[in-house]
Amino acid sequence: MSRLCNLWKLCWWTVRLLVLLAVVAALRPPPPLVVVGPPQTVQTSNPLIGVHTRLTDEVEEWKVQRTLQMVREMGAPWIVEFFPWAYIEPRPGQYDWSHADMVIEHARAQGLTVIARMGWVPDWARSPETTPTMLEADAYDDFAPLSPPLSAAIGDGSTMWSSGTSRT
């Protein structure tokens, strides 16, 4: 009888715990819904002013969107954004453009020109004794294929250059 009573108490506490967990999960706010929205136009009195953003490591899309809204609202018509090669191609031939595409999509929606900076050589494309900013001559052919897709993603009216790497 005592064993049955203990089993019943265990079941009762297990059910209570599961209900509590379900309630806590239901009360947690959902992640913010991010909608790109209609295209905007930058109103500026000085088109030479731009902002060097650093959205590379920002994982929350709403923060990327809000940052670029603020750039537009302050009247800067262009941004410089860093797109690390090591993030885009972590392994040879394995590309992940999702973050770059998201940043460019939100920048376009805000009417901003994107000047892309590429760099940060992945481990697989450089000698172990070098830093991520070292692009050795034998890796030029590995780096070159990144430019056309990024240029295509950015589109007309935007500039792209490669920076942040030194050459041997």
From 72, 1, 10, 65, select the one nearest 40 (Cα to Cα).
72
Taking alpha carbons only, the member of 72, 99, 64 closest to residue 83 is 99
pLDDT above 70: residue 165: no
Structure token pair of residue 28? 């947690």
More confident residue, 15 or 73: 73
Identify any residues that bridge with 162 across adjacent strands, giving them in sequence order: 118
pLDDT in tens, 55-110: 999 999 999 999 999 999 999 999 999 999 999 999 998 999 999 999 999 999 99
CA 87 to each of CA 4, 12, 33: distance values in angstroms, whole numbers, following the listed order: 57, 49, 25
**Span 20-37, average pLDDT:** 81
- Res 118 pLDDT > 90: no
